[in-house]
């Protein structure tokens, strides 16, 4: 039997290519998970929470608090 340079490296390359293939598919799956998560959240990512003043304005607009309460609490916030 005759072993050339390609034969001795060929076996090692097979294992290396198998590992690279495995890493490739793991990265593809991770990418798909992140894509699905992004699409599931509506593409907005993490939503920012409302500030206390915005909540106070909404309560006043809905009539849950009076103008006096709104002004008093607004002064506390600012």
Q: Are 65 and 73 in contact (CB under 8 A)?
A: yes
Residue 43 has pLDDT above 80, yes or no: no
The mean pLDDT of 49-67, rounded to a whole number, is 89
pLDDT of residue 47: 59
Tell whether pTM > 0.85.
Answer: no
Same domain membership, residue 78 and residue 53: yes
pLDDT of residue 15: 67
Residue 2 has pLDDT above 60, yes or no: no
Note down the domain range covering 5. 1-47
The mean pLDDT of 21-50, rounded to a whole number, is 83
Q: 17 pLDDT band (50/70/90 cuts)? A: confident
Same domain membership, residue 52 and residue 77: yes
In the DSSP assignment, the letter for residue 63 is T
Tokens linked to 71: 């002004």
Query: Structurally, how many domains does the chain consist of?
Result: 2
Spatial distance between the Cα atoms of 30 and 26, rounded to a whole number of angstroms: 6
């Amino acid at each position: 039997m005759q072993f050339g340079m390609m034969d001795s490296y060929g076996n090692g390359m097979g294992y290396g290519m198998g590992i690279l293939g495995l890493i490739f598919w793991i990265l593809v799956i991770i990418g798909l998970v992140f894509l699905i998560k992004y699409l599931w959240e509506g593409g907005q990512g993490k939503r920012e929470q409302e500030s206390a003043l915005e909540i106070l304005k909404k309560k006043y607009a809905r009539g849950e608090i009076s103008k006096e309460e709104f002004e008093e609490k607004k002064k506390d916030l600012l």
